[in-house]
Amino acid sequence: MTERLIIGMFGFGVVGQGLYDIIKTKKLNLEIKKFVIKNANKERTLPAELFTTNAEAILGDDEINTVVELIDDAEAAFEITRRALKSGKNVVSANKKMIANHLEELTLIQQEYGTSLLYEGAVCGSIPIIRNLEEYYDNELLHSVSGIFNGSSNYILSKVFNENQSYNLALKQAQELGFAETDPTLDVGGFDPKYKLTIIASHAYGIYVDPNDILNIGIDQLDNQDIRFAKEKGFKIKLLPFAKEINNNQVVLYVLPRLITSDNILFNVENEYNGVLVKAAFADEQFFYGKGAGGHPTGSAVLSDIAALRYGYRYEYKKHLDASQVLYSTDYQLKVYFRYAEEETLDLVKFGAIVERFYGQDFKYVIGEINLQEIIAKRDIINQPGNFIAEIP
């Protein structure tokens, strides 16, 4: 027997419209009663009486038993979600920043009030990675989870490497298509995949990590010299989040550009597509692939969560029960390609070893081993204009 869902939705942007488009094609035991939006004067495709700017129209309505949260403001989204869960309403959210920053508190609220928060749409668009980590891998030892988690940056890199476009032109196209925001820092700076990595790590390893404690360096300092170097060596550059268990009871997390070879399954993940690579002790290596940007792909993931609520589904956070000894670590050796502008930079950034060095009039780089802790400590230096760092196999 499925429960009838009476839905109140916050936000009616790209994902909200995409979700509504999908819902109206389905015969589901649900009703969208009210939308709360920010701009009351904007023209809508639905009757005006469905829209309001008053959050109480949803949060204060006892008939509404399900809240769908699809707004951009992470802190406002948290207040909506917290209050809804405490008032007995289940919540579906696609706000990765809000969830990453408040996941531990939101988990405790769910346990205390017996409500459910689902957020498949917050991570990798149409790929059902959270549900798989919760259900399929619940008793599995995961060696690592990595991949392409951000469709915007991947679209830019695809255009740069496959069509020889400039970075700026590729970024402009991504913005025109709605894959990247007017301020693209969240995507190209590696913040968006970091928030997604935080959520994935929680379900994969049972740990809560403050996103501010995780290194993220993006592709915003990428230059033609780096592109030429990668092509000459047979590489592509992808922006990859990485979670890996080390020393049996420690997990390392970071987001860095990575030079990858053609035998890497992520090599041919292009444009707005995402790919998640899971390496496990017993299941071995498995790969998930799908669109990571756009209203309909993300809307489909949100709808999947809504449909699951009809059957009383909730995340059990099973890995957290066994994770008392799992610790977050930043003590991890990386091999990197590092282009630098000023010679004194190498006096400030300490490499464990340098295995290759090139010094030209307009192009200087080293390939060497460096500890993640050193990159974190010297991030402001490493990520200065004129410098670019990427992990290398």
Distance CA 174, CA 166 (A): 12
What one-letter code names the amino acid at 321? L
Distance CA 345, CA 324 (A): 40
Choosing from 34, 96, 159, 196, which is the catalytic residue? 196
196 catalytically annotated: yes
Q: Dihedral sign for Cα 233, 349, 191, 393, please.
A: positive
Which residues 6+ apart lie within 8 Å of 185 measured at CB? 191, 220
Q: Hey, what are 361's tokens?
A: 């009039």
Closest CA relative to residue 125, chosen from 235, 271, 255, 272? 272
Are 52 and 35 contacting, i.e. CB atoms less than 8 angstroms apart?
yes
Residues involved in catalysis: 196
